[in-house]
Structure 1
């Protein structure tokens, strides 16, 4: 298979379950520290030993008993609260109605395999994947009750994020959470390749005589998009080897609206059915003629890009307008994209469609190192 090929990761079957686990947590001085990522770098087999050394130096704390964790973090004025646990990935959905976790982007199999190998060597899930769902009223009540307690941990990390964490171990509360999650469907907001890596690790351990394995679970954070929503922003593009004239020709071939305007009017026209493009000198607006329940990014990649008479030789992705505009020139056009709504992304995922690569940017994400899951400790818990 071509290494650039995108495929749909398998679907996990319901009920949606988050299992308690005993978390590792870096100290506040390490969370959000740019050097922390290097602690999870090659050689991966040394990462567990490195964390053990950090633990003896007081740089890592380890919970003594499994829990579900309510993690609230604030970044750039936005507060997000999510439930962190070990997601059950042990069952595959045979029917659409059985799906509990919905991806909305394809994955590169080679990248997922590499991540699975890395987690296997580290014996860690170093960070939770980010899931969004619409929780029940009862679940919101339960989580609000937990959040009214004094947090078990409260700190501001080196990157400026503020964190509050509650560990929930009450059997009655955990049973209520399990019951309220059972019928939920969660959309992957961030971490498609890590999710696919969880499934690969789980498949490698299927049928082991020792019974259930730590790799039947993968670390996840579940955010109620109705309660403390993540912000969904666009990811802009630059197309190298393509000119604004090429974009005009493609639009005319497809019978789409194309008009050149000044920068202010072009940016103001940006909407769910229109995109704005520039070569750094000229600006244009292109109407997309989107179908019902179709995202602008789908219309761009499925119809406009194939109709371009030249290029693109390469596509680069940008999370900010300034980054995209800095790359615009006569032979490289910047295309400013509207952000899809979360409801639209969910409808697309439920319809078993995938958005093009780098279609969504859910923000803010929690800093690395707040909650880590050790596969080695999980194995000891089950022995």
Structure 2
């Protein structure tokens, strides 16, 4: 991994609270493209989770839920190539607009978006603003990435957006404002929503439009002093930047902005979960054998038996004790792997990097275990990334591979590293709740 400068300190000066003395975030209203409730079975039936958390079984269920489910746009079927899939998505998007399934709002707006998870999932309430955020190399320092990206997913998203000429789902970004934008959010949420629906996971979703010039000005004034952290959507942010560069010759180009959801975490802290790895071609027995073959006392392996809950408790306890720790699963049992020792870590991860970064579980996993112990290439043929613990274990068992279960990273660690300009290994975190896809889209032809 490498340290990447997140901003040019000669152009902007930040304080401890993330203030910027020069330019900040610029969020503009847009004419949202929304489903017509009279043309679909239900709003819940046409929404989807973000594209990168939809597993194959979930994709089929979403496609079957309604012929107009947005998953058909964000994960179009390749017929038979990816480019054909992009063209198919563009045709569907055009057809649905002509048929009145999707209709543009009459005037540009910022959209207040509320999610409340089911009681069994904590009943977490989150509110934020959906708008069109200015994106360019010059503004890249206003938006801090915290994870590395993979070229193939970026290219995939670029191809889809370039062909559909639409922002199909918002990125999730966090910021800390002075309360003016938050006041607009709360005032809107006290009124009657444009739409309200509950998805199959029990989460309630509500959306309001903000068009009042005074409220829009209050939001702009607040965000002009802020920068944001990408919580979810690093590959799509890279997509925005690439497409903006491709169209920089155009004056007032719609490609200069991209749809995002901005959440003030001073008001609504996000939840951070781990993203697990599935090693498709490395059986558990082989993973354990290669660990045992390493020199010295770099690693400790403890067999925890067959009970997942107890194994996850052991993982949490190891992390609370300050250890690097992982769970290996996939053959019906759970093993706790702790380590490495300092000698092994120092040999694999440069001492010039911040110690907090060097000891991240994802850093150890990729730079030590994948590169030197297991020798697993970091590509989709060898490694899968799954957010759900049960799904990761099932997939490993199905493939005869190994699930590597991780403990979540604290949000404070993520922000501190991002502010130092250090990107974490790809897929290190899963912030949530994630915005549902399909409640509002942005057609670039509408601005």
1:61 aligned to 96, 100, 103, which one? Answer: 103
For the pair 1:307 / 2:359, whether they are aligned, the reply is no
What runs of 5+ residues in structure 1 fail to find an aligned partner?
379-383
8 Å CA contact 1:132, 1:189 repeated in 2: yes
CA distance in 2, matches of 1:349, 1:72: 26
Going from structure 1 to structure 2, the CA distance change for 1:305 and 1:67 (only over 3 Å counts) comes to: same
8 Å CA contact 2:274, 2:409 repeated in 1: yes
8 Å CA contact 1:6, 1:106 repeated in 2: no
For the pair 1:226 / 2:266, whether they are aligned, the reply is yes
Going from structure 1 to structure 2, the CA distance change for 1:281 and 1:207 (only over 3 Å counts) comes to: closer
Q: Paired residue for 1:292?
A: 356
1:84 aligned to 130, 147, 161, which one? Answer: 130
CA distance in 1, matches of 2:303, 2:85: 53
Going from structure 1 to structure 2, the CA distance change for 1:192 and 1:277 (only over 3 Å counts) comes to: same
Going from structure 1 to structure 2, the CA distance change for 1:237 and 1:248 (only over 3 Å counts) comes to: farther
SS in 1 for 2:127: strand
SS in 2 for 1:71: strand
SS in 1 for 2:106: coil
Q: Paired residue for 1:140?
A: 182
Q: CA deviation at 1:157?
A: 5.1
Q: Paired residue for 1:25?
A: 34
Question: Matched residue pairs, number?
Answer: 365
What runs of 5+ residues in structure 2 fail to find an aligned partner?
13-22, 49-61, 64-68, 77-83, 346-354
SS in 1 for 2:315: coil
8 Å CA contact 2:93, 2:164 repeated in 1: no
Give TM-score scaled by structure 2 length: 0.72
Please, which moves more after superposition, 297-306 or 48-57?
A: 48-57
8 Å CA contact 1:124, 1:373 repeated in 2: yes
Root-mean-square deviation (CA, aligned residues, Å) is 3.2
CA distance in 2, matches of 1:375, 1:116: 14
1:243 aligned to 265, 287, 304, which one? Answer: 287
Q: CA deviation at 1:70?
A: 0.5
8 Å CA contact 1:131, 1:221 repeated in 2: yes
SS in 1 for 2:131: strand
2:389 aligned to 301, 308, 321, which one? Answer: 321
CA distance in 1, matches of 2:256, 2:5: 16
8 Å CA contact 2:327, 2:334 repeated in 1: no
Please, which moves more after superposition, 240-249 or 7-16?
A: 7-16
Q: CA deviation at 1:52?
A: 4.9
CA distance in 2, matches of 1:113, 1:325: 29
Please, which moves more after superposition, 141-150 or 157-166?
A: 157-166
Greater share of strand: 1
8 Å CA contact 2:304, 2:333 repeated in 1: no
Give TM-score scaled by structure 1 length: 0.83
**Structure 1 residues 149-183: Cα deviation after superposition (integer angstroms, max 9, x where no partner):** 22233233577542221111111111111111122
SS in 2 for 1:189: strand
Q: Paired residue for 2:328?
A: 277
Matching of residues 337-352 of structure 1 within 5 Å: 337-352=406-421
8 Å CA contact 2:6, 2:418 repeated in 1: no
8 Å CA contact 2:195, 2:206 repeated in 1: yes
8 Å CA contact 1:243, 1:330 repeated in 2: no
CA distance in 1, matches of 2:440, 2:399: 46
Q: CA deviation at 1:225?
A: 2.4
Structure 1 consecutive aligned stretches of length 4 or more whose deviation exceeds 6 Å: 5-13
8 Å CA contact 1:113, 1:200 repeated in 2: no
**Structure 1 residues 222-277: Cα deviation after superposition (integer angstroms, max 9, x where no partner):** 11223233321111223343421322444x54x44514242366533314332233
CA distance in 2, matches of 1:46, 1:330: 31
Q: Paired residue for 1:74?
A: 116
**Structure 1 residues 129-151: Cα deviation after superposition (integer angstroms, max 9, x where no partner):** 11122233333233212212222
Please, which moves more after superposition, 319-328 or 190-199?
A: 319-328
8 Å CA contact 1:156, 1:162 repeated in 2: yes
Q: Paired residue for 1:129?
A: 171
CA distance in 2, matches of 1:154, 1:345: 32
CA distance in 1, matches of 2:200, 2:393: 30
8 Å CA contact 1:11, 1:92 repeated in 2: no
Greater share of helix: 2
Q: Paired residue for 1:381?
A: none
Q: CA deviation at 1:87?
A: 0.6
